[in-house]
Structure 1
Amino acid sequence: MTQKERQELSREKILQAAAKEFGDRGYDAVTMDSICFGHGISKGMMYHYYSGKDELFLLCIGRMFQELRDFLDMQEQPVSSDPLEAVQDFFLMREKFFRIHPDYKKIFENAMLHPPKHLKEQILALRAPVRDMNLKFLHHAISRLPLRPDLSQEQVIRYFECVEAFFWNLTEQYQAGRPASDYRSLLAVSKEVLDMVLFGIAVKKS
């Protein structure tokens, strides 16, 4: 093995350890020491390759968004004639990704819902390719939804972008600790939740 290959292996070991720590504990609770001590990495090696926690967190976020985009590119895009089903598929594809990569789920939520203030701009830039993909899909799906007359398409798209970050936490809590046992039951539960997200729960007084 060449020196360059050894260096790449060391860098990758550290990055995977950081992803595990951020995925388990979140940005605020992770320190460079916790990454080192929890994964058998010397401080000397750590600081030889990386400057600090922020650099590692941004690298993990960048990798997560890139792998999410690559995953979505490989999936069949929602083609249902029913816009509600198409939006449901939009969320299900993302849930499928985070079931395959559970460490990334916490990193995603951290980045989207509780980003460190001093890293917000960098996180937005890293998310841009995935956001562009989302916007393209949402414009198409929402153009087929009968919207309330007081709402614009742009408002609804902003709403869906907010929902994307917490939809699966909402679905899990809705199941009251009884997670769906198979894909069919997951579909049913997500459709119930999405129906309420889209159409509300109370009849609006005229």
Structure 2
Amino acid sequence: MKRELKTLQSREKIMHAAIGEFGRCGYDKASLNAALAESGISKGLVYHYFKNKDELYLSCVKTCFEALTKYLKVKCPETIRSDLRLEEYFDARLRFFTENPLFIRIFYNAVIQPPTHLKADIDVLKKDLDQFNLRLFESALSGLTLRKGISVEDACSYFIAVQEIFHQQYFQDSNGWENENKFIKIHEEKVRKSVDMILYGIAQEERL
């Protein structure tokens, strides 16, 4: 039992140091040697639990995704009215990152600018969050009358496609930003506006 506890504590110590480093520097600029040295963790101990930098980074990404998904599920339960639930969702996302600032860079680095060779692994880790987001979007659709010829499946496919385009465009627009608080507020507002446009369109009224 003592050995298992020591193993858990050692792994948690490594993860804490890694989340701090990836959270401050992102994947490319992270220096694990420096971060681990500051925390008094030997390289040998790290490689006992993690194969390499990639595996450690993916573990941090997984921790971030799981924490965010759990938070959103608590703050946006299915019992909330569909229109209010969507508002709660966006407010909860912003609160989560405000309360967990080290996850900001980890999350957006993984979602918007993932290391190319790790993208497939990140997509797998993000699956639960993606499914939650899709269910939330479907819940919002349930309160609307869709245009003739547009099915829920069509709308969901469009939602997924727009997400991909949005992230690609946003990375181009925000490349080089250093102010994380500004980054997240602007990004989250654009996400909110993007979903609003998908659901309610862009025209205020029909004109002849």
Of the candidates 147, 156, 159, which is equivalent to residue 157 of structure 1?
Answer: 159
Say whether 1:87 aligns with 2:86.
Answer: yes
Distance in structure 2 (CA, Å) of the matches to 1:90 and 1:194: 13
Match of 1:121 in 2: 120
CA contact under 8 A between 1:20 and 1:103: conserved in structure 2? Answer: yes
| Residues 160, 38 of structure 1: alpha-carbon distance in 2 compared, 3 angstrom cutoff | farther
| Residues 117, 123 of structure 1: alpha-carbon distance in 2 compared, 3 angstrom cutoff | same
Distance in structure 2 (CA, Å) of the matches to 1:147 and 1:171: 32
| Residues 171, 126 of structure 1: alpha-carbon distance in 2 compared, 3 angstrom cutoff | closer
Match of 1:172 in 2: 185
Say whether 1:58 aligns with 2:41.
Answer: no
Match of 2:178 in 1: none
Match of 1:96 in 2: 95
* Residue 69 of structure 1: how far off its partner (Å): 2.0
Distance in structure 2 (CA, Å) of the matches to 1:86 and 1:106: 26
Match of 1:8 in 2: 8
* Residue 89 of structure 1: how far off its partner (Å): 2.3
Give the gaps of 5 or more residues in structure 2: 171-180
Give the gaps of 5 or more residues in structure 1: 175-188
| Residues 77, 42 of structure 1: alpha-carbon distance in 2 compared, 3 angstrom cutoff | same
Distance in structure 1 (CA, Å) of the matches to 2:68 and 2:56: 18
- 1:124-203 equivalence runs, <5 A: 124-145=123-144, 152-158=154-160, 161-162=163-164, 172-173=185-186, 194=193, 198=197, 200=202
> What's the RMSD between the two structures over aligned residues?
3.7
TM superposition score normalised by structure 2: 0.72
Runs of 4+ in 1 over 4 A off after TM superposition: 145-152, 162-166, 168-171, 199-206
TM superposition score normalised by structure 1: 0.73
* Residue 13 of structure 1: how far off its partner (Å): 0.3
Match of 1:75 in 2: 75
Q: Secondary structure at the match of 2:185?
A: helix
> Residue 15 of structure 1 aligns to which amino acid in structure 2?
M
* Residue 197 of structure 1: how far off its partner (Å): 5.8
* Residue 72 of structure 1: how far off its partner (Å): 2.1
CA contact under 8 A between 1:14 and 1:46: conserved in structure 2? Answer: yes
Q: Which moved more, 1:8-17 or 1:37-46?
A: 37-46
CA contact under 8 A between 1:61 and 1:108: conserved in structure 2? Answer: yes
Match of 1:105 in 2: 104
Q: Secondary structure at the match of 1:144?
A: coil
* Residue 155 of structure 1: how far off its partner (Å): 4.6
* Residue 204 of structure 1: how far off its partner (Å): 10
Distance in structure 2 (CA, Å) of the matches to 1:76 and 1:173: 22
* Residue 7 of structure 1: how far off its partner (Å): 2.1
Identity in percent: 30
CA contact under 8 A between 1:27 and 1:110: conserved in structure 2? Answer: yes
| Residues 17, 74 of structure 1: alpha-carbon distance in 2 compared, 3 angstrom cutoff | same
> Residue 9 of structure 2 aligns to which amino acid in structure 1?
L
Say whether 1:33 aligns with 2:33.
Answer: yes
